[in-house]
Amino acid sequence: MGFKVVHYINQFYANIGGEEMAHIAPQLRDGAVGPGTAFAQVWEDDAQIVKTVVCGDSYFAEHEKEAKEQILAWVDEIKPDFFIAGPAFNAGRYGYACATVCAAVQETGVGVLTGMYAENPGADLKDKVLMVATGNSAAGMRKAAPVMARLALKIMRGEKLGASAEEGYLPNGVRRNFFESKNGAERAVDMLLAKLAGKPFTTEYPMPSFDRVAPAKPLSDLAGATIALCTSGGIVPKGNPDRIESSSASHYGEYSIAGADDLTDATYETAHGGYDPVYANADADRVLPVDVLRELEREGKIGKLHEYYYSTVGNGTSVANARRFAAEYAQKLLSAGVDAVIMTST
């Protein structure tokens, strides 16, 4: 039969449902489920998924201790040779669960591997858990699954791992030497020619890239200023009419607060899946302070509160998407004559 493997996936990849089923507690299934079948195709007779652990993303986020205890109990009972999780791509809660479960299982002496996008919050544990670098979405499954399967088999066999650039895992601070087929001078010339020709190339010495945002000038007349509210805390009208995702948001919402003095639980809620929603749902002003801004407006301390606010979810949302959202609604705010924005988080 080869090596015995246990696979961890969330409710979506188990074909149970989406966010509406993210509350399900851990369950154990026989054999390979979902992405596990892709691993099995690569392994053939060398390894086999004997059990698949399924756990809802919300359940794990809200009951981490209980979920880990149950999963570790199953691992102790099954005694697998290896534990693999995901891939999670850029799903924030799923990535966190994959990384956290792998870290816990690894402490029992069982080998582990997961996979996710470099910007996934779970990737913060890449120095503790080996993670294959994947694309931003599940569209990259066809490419990610074989890489994960081959690397997992290599670990199970006890073979020496190469550098991250060779094996496809996220750099984890461990340097591994290897020989290139071309010397440094040839590689440098190849990169230069590719750059001059507008062709893709990969630098061997990537530099960190940090956003540098020049502070805006202070308002000279706050009492005459139009102030807008924006949030990454997911505050939306009741029912989430634009279906903003609870994590890894692909869009934002634009909502009118004209005439609203208070965001009540009858009319507003949060779509965010990365924090306890109870207090935000009870009083959305805790995340989007419309009530306080209205007080300042009545007292004449600000000119007026802008009639629209913009909302999305910061939970696992890629930097590229966040930058795109802001660029779009910043133009709307400028066109509306807004003087300043208060951006709230969770």
What six digits make up the tokens of 236? 């939306």
Instruction: Please report, for the chain, the start and end positions of each structural domain, with discontinuous segments joined by +.
Output: 3-167, 222-344
The label of the residue with tokens 């390979």 reads 32
The domain defined by 3-167 folds into: Rossmann fold (3.40.50)
- What pLDDT was estimated at residue 176? 64
Instruction: Supply the DSSP string of 126-160, one letter for each residue.
Output: TTTS-EEE--SSGGGHHHHHHHHHHHHHHHHTTPP
Q: Reduced to 3 states, what is the DSSP secondary structure of residue 244?
A: coil
Q: Reduced to 3 states, what is the DSSP secondary structure of residue 215?
A: coil
What six digits make up the tokens of 103? 């870290």
What six digits make up the tokens of 63? 């009951």
Q: Under a CB-based contact definition with an 8 Å cutoff, are residues 142 and 135 in contact?
A: no
- What pLDDT was estimated at residue 136? 84
* Rounded CA separation 100/97 (Å): 5
- What pLDDT was estimated at residue 166? 79
User: pLDDT category, 175, cuts 50, 70, 90?
Assistant: low
Task: Determine the distance from the C-alpha atom of residue 317 to the mean position of all C-alpha atoms in its chain, rounded to a whole number.
Answer: 6
Per-residue CA distances from 127 to 9, 98, 100, 103, 226 (Å): 22, 14, 12, 10, 46
Give per-residue pLDDT as tens, 6-51: 999 999 999 998 888 889 999 999 999 999 999 999 999 999 999 9
Mean pLDDT of 280-303: 96
Of the two residues 156 and 171, the one the predictor is more confident about is 156
Task: Determine the distance from the C-alpha atom of residue 279 to the mean position of all C-alpha atoms in its chain, rounded to a whole number.
Answer: 23
Query: What pTM does this model have?
Result: 0.63
Q: How many CA atoms lie within 13 A of 270 on its CB side?
A: 27
- What pLDDT was estimated at residue 1? 63
Surface-to-core class of residue 56, CB atoms within 10 Å of its CB (0-12 exposed, 13-18 middle, 19+ buried): buried
Q: Under a CB-based contact definition with an 8 Å cutoff, are residues 110 and 155 in contact?
A: no
Residue 254 has pLDDT above 90, yes or no: yes
Give per-residue pLDDT as tens, 119-144: 888 888 998 999 999 988 888 899 99
Surface-to-core class of residue 86, CB atoms within 10 Å of its CB (0-12 exposed, 13-18 middle, 19+ buried): buried
What does the mean pLDDT of the chain come to?
A: 91
